[in-house]
Chain A
Amino acid sequence: MAGQLFFYFLALLTVAGAVAVVALPNPLYSVLSLVATFLGLAGLYLSLNAQFVAVVQVIVYAGAIMMLFLFVVMLINLGREERQALRLPVQKLAGTIIGLGVFAGLVNLYATTPLLTGAKGLFPAARLAEVGSVQAVGRLLVTQYVLPFQAMAVLLFVGIVGAVVLARRRAR
């Protein structure tokens, strides 16, 4: 009962934040709303016993990426006159249709399929609660998922190089 209450509270926070991101006129407000959405998501991950994902959600998404968004919004700094609503009738119509289509597909999936569960891994729920989510990730990261892990290092490296190159070209 209490668990459901938490779920609905967090779900409300997440969805309301997401709606506000799209609906609010000021991009800065949108960034703030997206932070609220991410915090709601982190809460949902916590309730699923995925503490590592929850913390990463807060540190990386809510903390780092949103900070970058904030910098971008402040860097571009749209004046009030530039901030007027865009008039893009075709895009709006297409967006509405696609959005509704995806939503209908999800509802259909929910109504017709029995509960989807993935393949059973090394850490089923009981074992996960025992060793802790962070420890489980630590173990899998440098054993089973070594290759994706190192590939991610390369990806981050490319990110650093890209950022430096772009910023240098602009600074000149």
Chain B
Amino acid sequence: MAEILGAFFRDYQSINSYVPIFIFTLVAFGFAGVTLVVALLVRPHRPDPAKLSPYECGIPPLMEAHERFSIRFYLLGILFLLFDVEAVFLFPWAVRYDYLGLFGFIEMMLFIAILLVGYFYAWRKEALEWA
């Protein structure tokens, strides 16, 4: 069975290996769209005010839902951004690690060390606390 499948889907030399990803994206959007439209045609549609009000454990909603929320989420967003940038630069280094030698290792440890200072600063200033 696996042989048959393997022969059927044999590796093909593509002009650009990213084209199937592009096609997949279109197909995924198509799948989602078609499913929603077909569901729209077959399902019932009987709205009433109670059904359409936001759920709040059975009582009518008390306040506007879009309240302002804690600044911590914003801080977390920034920390995420900064460490994400760091992570992004680790990938090219990691795949070339074998060719970079001692200098490459020391350079990257220095890079990480500088950011770890920032990390421990954030720790000391209780920016990582959520309680």
A–B in direct contact per CB < 8 Å: yes
A156 at the binding interface (Cβ < 8 Å): yes
Asked if A12 is at the interface of the complex by the 8 Å CB criterion, the answer is: no
Contact B91 A150 (CB under 8 A): no
Q: Does A121 contact B (CB under 8 A)?
A: no
Q: Which of A135-152 contact B (CB under 8 A)?
A: 135-139, 141-143, 146, 149-150, 152
Q: Tell me the count of chain B residues lying within 8 A, CB to CB, of chain A.
A: 48
Q: A93 an interface residue at 8 Å Cβ cutoff?
A: no
Q: Which residues of B contact A2 (CB under 8 A)?
A: 19
B22 touches A60 (CB 8 A): no
Chain A's nearest CB lies how many Å from the CB of B84? 5
Question: Contact between A142 and B72 (Cβ–Cβ < 8 Å)?
Answer: no
Cross-chain contact B117 with A157 (CB below 8 angstroms): yes
Interface of B is mostly: helix
A6 in contact with B22 (CB, 8 Å): yes
Residues of A within 8 Å of B28, CB to CB, are: none
Count class of interface residues, chain A: 35 or more
A139 — which chain B residues lie within 8 A by C-beta?
A: 92, 96, 99-100
CA gap between A47 and B21 in the complex, in Å:
12
Is B27 among interface residues, defined by CB-CB distance under 8 A?
A: no
Interface status of A23 (Cβ within 8 A of chain B):
no
Query: Which residues of A have CB within 8 Å of B75?
Result: 163-164, 167
A residues touching B (Cβ–Cβ < 8 Å)? 2-3, 6, 43, 46-47, 52, 55-56, 59-60, 63-65, 67-68, 71-72, 74-77, 134-139, 141-143, 146, 149-150, 152-154, 156-157, 159-161, 163-165, 167-168, 170-171
What are 5 residue pairs bridging A and B, where the CB atoms are less than 8 Å apart in the complex?
Answer: A75-B71, A136-B92, A157-B118, A168-B125, A171-B71
Which of B's residues lie within 8 Å of A, judged by CB?
16, 18-19, 22, 66-69, 71-75, 77-82, 84-86, 88-89, 91-96, 99-100, 103-104, 107-108, 110-111, 114-115, 117-119, 121-122, 125-127
Known: A156-B118, A164-B125. 11 other contacts (CB 8 A): A6-B22, A56-B88, A75-B68, A77-B68, A138-B96, A142-B103, A152-B85, A153-B111, A156-B82, A157-B114, A160-B122
